[in-house]
């Protein structure tokens, strides 16, 4: 790939060019794609509104940049290698031509079921090739996909459907997840009881379990595609037409629908993929994320396929049927680039080195990390035992909102530094600011991480609520995108991400808004008030700690705690279930009634050495009760 950086000096050179003249830089990258009509202007932007457009008035279809672009040379090349949850089930290898035909056929099925350009389609599916087909078919037809992680509860699913007024849900009868079988269709059935916009549900037969199919609404995937042609002419899209909406948690109660558009996202997904992983066509690349998260969008589906690559998709979990499953798969397919989350590494670290021993892992060239800060211990374990000390480890910092990797080493090019995401990709202009928004220049500085110039795959809006986008990301500091993360630039000029500075906690690499969890807890009839904070957790990175004021009549403390956990599981999903629930007589509040979370965070992390001045609290006495109740 001509836009692939090869050396460290090449990186600095490209970076310089991208900052001095971003238009020329991105126009050059953009030109390597297939556009039906060239753009008029490379970027137009105003962070005040915010209003950001890339490749203005360009016309294209992102799937033509996967299929029409590569079919003549890569028709028989594997696009997706699929490894099932159960190693005894047959795997699947889907070539570019097969993926093209499956996508077209599904486009025709979507059209026959009434989907048109601009309609919203929810994808609530297991990790099977059809999930990628579903995304690509939406993109080819011009429908806007919104993938919802299939571990979310029916009420979380319904909220997302209603927020974007989706017309259709694509799902399966059930999902396999390790030793468990999850009745997904039943979750959808429950959700769509309260979603008036849903007209049709298409159901993939995955587990063969008994499901109820509602006449006139539900249709099997195999019936929907039967008799459909494998030809479909891609819909012409404007650069700024919506490609997808992906819901993510923030500090406000409700998840936000982050909007990504077609042209810029395409250009950045491929550019960042090829450069960070130093992907060379022919390599086998594996990212262990789920397509329900942005990592699955950009680095399982779009990035690798836009690069003409081979992407491995794994349906299962790292520890099923044994703790060596990841490494077994690496050897089985001779994986060259492996991309996972620190939480998975820490979970496997617990099992020691024995599960790794049967495997050589010598196909690996690059290993990567994403989703949360990787602690030094996990970094070294990953680097030494998986990378065998000779694979560059790319610690990639980015967000749902950024669409692609923003700060990362380029594999084998940027020197590795444990726990440092390191340097920005070309075109990315991060700055560290103090609380007033003053830029902290030079090295050895620490503050809030902002980005001061637009990049092609950045968030355009939050679906249906542009004010929210403005308030959350563009109002904290004038003329800057605020990430919500703290960062430090060390003495070498390398960036280290310090974690969220807002009320978002990162549980096993998944973002959870504390307000969202509190809202769920407060649904329990016995709960009077709650406050949720994060605390250090050995495997998950952060755990969820809930302080709850309850009416205890008719309950024991244990039964109430269990009920509260269950309420959260039902309302959001298992990933949001609090690890700790402490029943408290009150919550520490300022005189203006604001909860002093700083104190709660300290107690949750068992560090009460320096609680600061509590005398200004409305109710200083509750602090002692809380400390006592926590057993400290
Ligand atoms: C955190 C995931 C440290 C960060 C792609 C960010 C990281 C949030 C890293 C976004 C990393 C992600 N080092 N922290 N390499 N990668 N984060 O939207 O707090 O699910 O703001 O996107 O994860 O999470 P999201």
Residue 400 CA to ligand 1 center (angstroms) comes to 8
371-410: pLDDT as tens digits: 999 999 999 999 999 999 999 999 999 999 999 999 999 9
C-alpha 65, offset from chain centre = 23
Contact 479, 439 (CB under 8 A): no
The pLDDT value given to residue 208:
96
The pLDDT value given to residue 252:
76
The structural domains of the chain, ordered by start, are 8-487 (3.40.50.12780), 508-630 (3.30.300.30)
536-559: pLDDT as tens digits: 999 999 999 999 999 999 999 999
Q: Are strands 510-513 and 580-583 parallel, antiparallel or unpaired?
A: unpaired
Contact 530, 546 (CB under 8 A): yes
Q: At what angle do helices 154-164 and 557-571 cross, to 10 degrees?
A: 40
106 vs 157: CA distance, rounded Å: 23
- Mean pLDDT (the chain, rounded): 96
Q: How confident is the model at residue 591 (pLDDT cuts 50, 70, 90)?
A: confident
461 vs 340: CA distance, rounded Å: 28
Mutate to test the pocket of ligand 1, among 507, 511, 513, 576 (most ligand atoms within 8 A of CB): 511
Q: What single-letter DSSP state applies at residue 49? A: T
Q: Which residue would you say has higher pLDDT here, 572 or 253?
A: 572
% pLDDT > 90, the chain:
95
Average pLDDT of the segment spanning 106-124: 98
The DSSP string of 264-303 is HHHHHHHHHHHHHTT--TT-EEEE---TTSHHHIIIIIIH
422 vs 295: CA distance, rounded Å: 19
324 vs 627: CA distance, rounded Å: 41
Closest CA to 132 of 192, 85, 62, 72: 62
498 vs 402: CA distance, rounded Å: 18
Q: What is the value of pTM for the model shown?
A: 0.96
383 vs 379: CA distance, rounded Å: 6
Contact 58, 33 (CB under 8 A): no
The pLDDT value given to residue 615:
82
Which tokens hold the place of 235? 């819909």
The DSSP string of 406-447 is -B-PPTTTSPP-TT--BSBPTT--EEEE-TT--B--SSSEEE
26-84: pLDDT as tens digits: 999 999 999 999 999 999 999 999 999 999 999 999 999 999 999 999 999 999 999 99
| Residue of the CA atom closest to atom 25 of ligand 1 | 399
Residue 547 CA to ligand 1 center (angstroms) comes to 26
Enumerate the β-bridge partners of residue 314: 83
pLDDT at 2 over 80: no
The pLDDT value given to residue 373:
92
Q: How confident is the model at residue 610 (pLDDT cuts 50, 70, 90)?
A: confident
- Ligand 1 atom with minimal separation from the 500 CA: 19
Average pLDDT of the segment spanning 423-441: 96
Which tokens hold the place of 286? 């594996």
255 vs 463: CA distance, rounded Å: 11
C-alpha 185, offset from chain centre = 23
Q: How confident is the model at residue 251 (pLDDT cuts 50, 70, 90)?
A: confident
Residue 371 CA to ligand 1 center (angstroms) comes to 4
- Ligand 1 atom with minimal separation from the 248 CA: 18
Question: Residue 306: in which H helix or E strand, if any?
Answer: helix 303-306
Question: Nearest 5°: phi and psi at 278?
Answer: 50, 50
E strand intervals along 20-143 = 41-46, 51-56, 59-60, 78-83, 92-95, 120-123
Question: Nearest 5°: phi and psi at 497?
Answer: -85, 130
Q: Which residues line ligand 1 (CB under 6 A)?
A: 248, 293-295, 369-373, 395-400, 421, 483-485, 497, 499-500, 506, 511
| Residue of the CA atom closest to atom 8 of ligand 1 | 399
pLDDT at 588 over 90: yes
C-alpha 190, offset from chain centre = 25
Residue 402 CA to ligand 1 center (angstroms) comes to 10
The pLDDT value given to residue 592:
83
pLDDT at 1 over 70: no
- Ligand 1 atom with minimal separation from the 497 CA: 3
| Residue of the CA atom closest to atom 14 of ligand 1 | 372
584 vs 406: CA distance, rounded Å: 41
Closest CA to 281 of 273, 290, 269, 293: 273
Average pLDDT of the segment spanning 496-515: 93
Q: Are strands 144-147 and 120-123 parallel, antiparallel or unpaired?
A: parallel
287-337: pLDDT as tens digits: 999 999 999 999 999 999 999 999 999 999 999 999 999 999 999 999 999
The pLDDT value given to residue 616:
83
């Amino acid at each position: 790939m001509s836009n692939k950086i090869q050396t460290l000096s090449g990186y600095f050179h490209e970076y310089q060019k991208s900052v001095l003249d971003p238009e020329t830089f991105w126009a050059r990258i953009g030109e390597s794609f297939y556009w039906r009509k060239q753009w008029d202007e490379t970027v137009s932007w105003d962070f005040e509104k915010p209003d950001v457009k890339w490749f203005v008035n360009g016309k294209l279809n992102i799937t033509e940049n996967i299929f029409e672009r590569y079919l003549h040379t890569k028709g028989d090349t594997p696009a997706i290698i699929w490894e099932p949850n159960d190693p005894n089930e047959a795997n699947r290898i889907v070539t570019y031509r097969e993926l093209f035909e499956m996508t077209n056929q599904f486009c025709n099925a979507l059209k026959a079921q009434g989907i048109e350009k601009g309609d919203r389609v929810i994808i609530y599916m297991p990790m099977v090739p059809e999930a990628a087909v579903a995304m690509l078919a939406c993109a080819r037809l011009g429908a806007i996909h919104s993938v919802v992680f299939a571990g979310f509860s029916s009420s979380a699913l319904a909220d997302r459907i209603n927020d974007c007024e989706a017309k259709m849900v694509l799902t399966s009868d059930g999902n396999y997840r390790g030793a468990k079988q999850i009745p997904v269709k039943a979750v959808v059935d429950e959700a769509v009881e309260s979603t008036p916009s849903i007209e049709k549900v298409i159901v993939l037969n995955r587990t063969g379990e008994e499901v109820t199919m509602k006449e006139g609404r539900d249709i099997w995937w195999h019936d929907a595609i039967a008799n459909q042609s494998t030809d479909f002419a891609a819909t012409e899209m404007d650069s700024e037409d919506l490609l997808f909406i992906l819901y993510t948690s923030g500090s406000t109660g409700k998840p936000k629908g982050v909007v990504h558009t077609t042209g810029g996202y395409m250009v950045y997904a491929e550019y960042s993929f090829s450069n960070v992983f130093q992907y060379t066509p022919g390599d086998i690349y594996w990212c262990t994320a789920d397509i329900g998260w942005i990592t699955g969008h950009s680095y399982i589906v779009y990035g690798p396929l836009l690069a003409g690559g081979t992407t491995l998709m794994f349906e299962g979990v790292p520890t099923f049927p044994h703790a060596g499953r990841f490494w077994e798969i690496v050897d089985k397919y001779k994986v060259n680039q492996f991309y996972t989350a620190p939480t998975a590494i820490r979970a496997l670290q617990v099992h020691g080195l024995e599960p790794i021993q049967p495997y050589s892992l010598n196909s690996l060239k690059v290993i990567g990390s994403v989703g949360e800060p990787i602690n030094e211990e996990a970094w070294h374990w990953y680097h030494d035992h998986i990378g065998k000390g000779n694979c560059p480890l790319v610690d990639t910092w980015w967000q749902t909102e950024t669409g692609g990797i923003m700060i990362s080493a380029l594999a084998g090019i940027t020197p590795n530094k444990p726990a440092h995401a390191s340097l920005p990709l070309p075109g990315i202009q991060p700055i560290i600011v103090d609380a007033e928004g003053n830029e902290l220049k030079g090295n050895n500085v620490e503050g809030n991480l902002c980005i001061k110039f637009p990049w092609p795959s950045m968030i355009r809006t939050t679906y249906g609520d542009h004010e929210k986008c403005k308030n959350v990301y563009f109002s904290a500091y004038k003329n800057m995108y605020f990430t919500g993360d703290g960062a430090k630039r060390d003495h070498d000029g390398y960036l280290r991400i310090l974690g969220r500075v807002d009320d978002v906690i990162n549980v096993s690499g998944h973002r959870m808004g504390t307000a969202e969890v509190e809202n769920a807890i407060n649904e329990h009839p016995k709960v009077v008030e709650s406050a949720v904070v994060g605390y250090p957790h050995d495997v998950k990175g952060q755990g969820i700690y809930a302080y709850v004021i309850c009416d205890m009549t008719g309950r024991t403390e244990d039964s109430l705690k269990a009920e509260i956990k269950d309420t959260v599981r039902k309302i959001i999903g298992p990933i949001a279930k609090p690890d700790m629930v402490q029943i408290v007589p009150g919550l520490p509040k300022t005189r203006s009634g604001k909860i002093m979370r700083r104190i709660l965070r300290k107690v949750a992390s068992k560090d009460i050495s320096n609680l600061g001045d509590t005398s200004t609290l409305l109710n200083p006495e509750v602090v002692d009760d809380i400390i006592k109740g926590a057993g400290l």
